[in-house]
Structure 1
Amino acid sequence: MSKFVLQQAINKVWYGTFTSFAALGIKHGISTRLGGHSASPFASLNLGLHTGDDAEVVWHNRQLFCQAVGLTAEKVVTAEQIHGDSIYRVTATDAGRGAQHYDEAIKGTDALITNEPGLPLMLFFADCVPVLIVDPVAKAIGISHAGWKGTVAKIAQKTIFAMQRQFHTNPSDCLVGIGPSIRPCCYEVDEAVINKLSVEFDHWDRLVKPTGENRWQLNLWEANRQQLNEIGIRDNNITVSQICTADNTALFFSHRAEKGNTGRIGAIISL
């Protein structure tokens, strides 16, 4: 049985879930681009308010997605993602921040954590890696936005460290889901990226494949898995969706494949 399952809700929205999370009763989902109301090039379930799409249409799309997953859109907490490594602890007073208006989102943040029940955390992606985290023992969750900059900065690892400080999370207790994102064959990077990668990863050469002069294919999935292993998270607690956004633009938005003129999928999680 697949560990990441795509499904269609009653309201026609398509989204994916991790079976390990669902078994714990964790409400979560990763949207596709199917089932919304945005026009091209954002067709159709664009969830990003910063793409140039009509804000009212995006809000309607967010409501549809939350309805599909079984969460309340008005309570969703989002962030102004900047490809950094800042992590924010979400509390009840943050409910609704960024849900309808981009300028109300948590500033300069690429990961959210909480131990508040019924408080959905949502971030947005179009090739970057969604990393969803559940600590079923301390009853806490996290979500990280890991593009190449966030991956090199080890934001997924730092998110779990933040959960450890705030909620006494033991990394070995955590379940992690790595969502649809760009795979190595579609993701070529230059020497500037490799130089930064080689500083942060002891076995960086296992994460890349040379493709030509000063060009490499980078495996973001493996880089995130490797940094999670480093802090004690076992492979059998990590699920990688194995779905490439750039190869599947009929299902997902891809910044690279669509040359930046596209929408955003959303990843959402709630206790």
Structure 2
Amino acid sequence: MREPFVWEEEASIMTLTDWEAHFPGLVAGFTVRLGGESEEPYGSFNLGLHVGDDPEHVVANRKKLAEQVGMPFEAWTCADQVHGNRVCQVTAKGAGKDSLEDVIAGTDGLFTREKGVLLTSFYADCVPLYFLDPASEAIGLAHAGWKGTVGRIAEEMVKALQTHYQAQPGDIRVAIGPSIGGCCYEVDERIMAQVRTSTPNWEPAVSPSAAGTYMLDLRRLNREILLEAGISRANMLVTDWCTSCRTDLFFSHRKEAGPGKMTGRMASYIGWKETEGR
């Protein structure tokens, strides 16, 4: 399978080209760390206001992203991510675009079918999940670290699209974006105890490492949860980009951060442009 997130050299975004090609007016993708205003250790296209970067640099970067994807900055909408499994319907644009004071509180998943809303969320190794229901034109984003993954935020999003928009799970399209891969994500027994309860088919996502530790493929674990939630394998796109392997392109909390160290955040984004006839 070809890589679904396509990066053009020197660009600041990786485009989910298959979805954009098949659904006119849709913008969807993931950012890289290049081409922004932020200074080290946030160099240079940091989209997170919560990591200690100069807010003016972050807002400038967000405005640049909105411009690159052809959406007004006023469309930018985001939440305060807490590594949970709560998902929230978005009915108006603009939350959290230039301040932490008006973000959507305590939420790791956003969904809407409103036009002119750019849903965004932030990453430095966690898994971005993208959702699209062609029938209702509902879209969603979910931020899935290990806690959100074992909390089955992927399933929570599927249920929300069913409840609010009568989406059929077998018709929903899902894309799993750049994140730390099973090649680099080592976890201990404390995390594994919860992984084993997340889905009956957890084993393909785990391989033993050193004594008492394991390599965990969060993308694979989310895929198994999505399959269990009724998503068709044929409607799933999964990236091969690993944020820890490619710190030339991505911020990686696991690889770069630590005591006294900080790093920036990439953003996932999805939205429908406001156009005549929509």
Q: Can you list the C-alpha shifts for 1:21-79, whole angstroms capped at 9, x where unaligned?
A: 11212212211001101001100000000010000110000000111111122221100
For the Cα contact (< 8 Å) 2:133–2:172, is it kept in 1? yes
1:63-82 alignment runs, 5 A limit: 63-82=63-82
Q: CA deviation at 1:151?
A: 0.6
Q: Write the letter of the residue equivalent to 1:248.
A: R
- Alignment partners' CA distance in 1, 2:28 and 2:204: 31
In structure 1, stretches of 5+ residues that fail to align are: none
Question: Which ranges of structure 2 fall in alignment gaps of 5 or more residues?
Answer: 273-278
Secondary structure, aligned partner of 1:266: strand
In 1, Cα distance between the equivalents of 2:222 and 2:212? 23
Cα displacement (A) at 1:13: 4.1
Distance 2:116 2:19 in 1: 15
- Does residue 240 in structure 1 map to residue 238 in structure 2? yes
**How far is the alpha carbon of 1:156 from its aligned partner?**
1.2
Give the corresponding residue for 1:268. Answer: 269
Q: Which residue of 2 aligns with 1:194?
A: 192
> Quick check: 1:13–1:64 contact (8 Å CA) kept in 2?
no
C-alpha contact 2:189 2:212 (8 A) present in aligned 1: yes
CA contact (8 A) 2:201 2:224 kept: no
- Following superposition, the deviation at residue 206 of structure 1 comes to 2.0
Shift of 1:203: 2.1
Letter in 1 for 2:32: T
For the residues of structure 1 that align with 2:115 and 2:257, how far apart are their CA atoms? 38
Q: Distance in 1 between matches of 2:214 and 2:224?
A: 18
Cα offsets for 1:240-259 (capped at 9, x unmatched) = 11100000011010000102
Amino acid in structure 1 at the alignment position of 2:115: P
Q: Does 1:21 align with 2:14?
A: no
How far apart, CA to CA, are the structure 2 residues paired with 1:150 and 1:159? 12
| Whole-angstrom distance in 2 between the partners of 1:15 and 1:184 | 23
> Equivalent residue for 2:276?
none
Partner Cα separation in structure 1 for residue 257 and residue 4 of structure 2: 31
CA contact (8 A) 1:13 1:36 kept: no
> Following superposition of structure 1 onto structure 2, how do residues 89-168 of structure 1 map, counting pairs within 5 Å?
89-92=89-92, 95-168=93-166
Q: Counterpart amino acid of 1:73?
A: F
2:171–2:231 contact (8 Å) kept in structure 1: yes
TM-score normalised over the length of structure 1: 0.95
Instruction: Please report how far the alpha carbon of residue 204 of structure 1 lies from its aligned counterpart in structure 2 after TM superposition.
Output: 1.9
Higher mean displacement: 258-267 or 19-28? 19-28
Measure the CA separation in 2 of the matches of 1:265 and 1:208.
26
Q: Sequence identity, in percent?
A: 42
Counterpart for residue 203 of structure 2: 205
Contact 1:6 1:16 in 2 (8 A): yes
List structure 1 segments (4+ residues) > 6 angstroms apart after TM superposition. none
In 2, distance between residues paired with 1:97 and 1:3? 29
* 8 Å contact kept, 2:5–2:29: no
- Displacement after TM superposition at 1:200 (Å): 2.1
TM-score, normalized by length of structure 2? 0.93
> What's the CA shift string for 1:93-126, capped at 9, x where partnerless?
xx21100001210010000010111111100000
Measure, in 2, the Cα distance between the counterparts of 1:165 and 1:124.
26
* SS of residue matched to 2:53: coil
| 1:52 is the counterpart of 2:45 | no
Number of matched residues? Answer: 266
2:86 is the counterpart of 1:86 = yes
Corresponding residue for 1:171?
169
Distance in 2 (alpha carbons) for counterparts of 1:216 and 1:83? 21
Quote the offset at 1:20 in angstroms: 2.5
Corresponding residue SS for 1:101? coil
Separation in 2, partners of 1:78, 1:3: 24
Measured in 2, the distance between the counterparts of 1:101 and 1:31 equals 20
Q: What do you get for the CA RMSD once the two structures are aligned?
A: 1.2
Instruction: Specify the code of the residue in structure 1 equivalent to 2:255.
Output: A
